[in-house]
Amino acid sequence: MTSTATHPRAALAVLTDTGLLLHITSFQTGLPYLLPRFAIRQRDLHMLEVLQRATQNPRLQNLPQLQFYGVRRCAIQYNSLQLLKWLHATRDKSPTMTDEPRLLGVAVTCYFDNVEIMEWLHSAPEGPHEAIDKITEVELCHAADFGNIRAIRWLHEHGCTVFSPLVMDTAATHGCLELLCTARR
């Protein structure tokens, strides 16, 4: 099977031929943001680059399948710090990419207990500098639900103050006794 990296012109030709693109994606007409999110799921940085170039074409900017809406959130949900960094660094090159506030909250409530993503979102010089005080009680409860012990410990160490009785009850209900010990310190 041939990858898109070996035939970038073919991929770009499909994306820039509106009729062909609409025909290929016609089965998904109700799903906007389809192609960038598929590329993220596949961890295909090359395809994201091609899609981003395609969105710079005024004829293609309005196609819902090419919209870069929610892509950084998607990269977090699929546990890809590399794609998250790339999407953040190139956000000004994509006219269809939208602002995505509260990404740290997404990282906390994700199935993946990825402290590296949280650290980058909060304090990397090139990152978005998300504030820990924006984390909500509901987000901490979801993190406790998922057993995201590393994420909750990281938040506690960085001054998060939302450790309420509800968060502790949620942690206890889900057998996360280590969270109770962490929050009591």
How far is 63 from 24, CA to CA, in rounded Å? 13
Q: pTM of the prediction?
A: 0.80
- The H-assigned helical ranges of the chain are 8-16, 18-24, 34-41, 45-55, 71-77, 81-89, 103-108, 115-123, 137-146, 149-157, 165-173, 177-184
Question: Running DSSP on this structure, what letter comes out for residue 26?
Answer: G
Q: Are 182 and 156 in contact (CB under 8 A)?
A: yes
Predicted confidence at residue 177, as pLDDT, reads 75
For residue 176, give the nearest of 77, 185, 167 by alpha carbon.
Answer: 167
Helix pair angle (45-55, 34-41), 10° resolution: 160
pLDDT at 1 over 50: no
Residues 3-44: pLDDT tens digits?
545 566 777 777 667 677 667 666 655 567 888 999 999 999
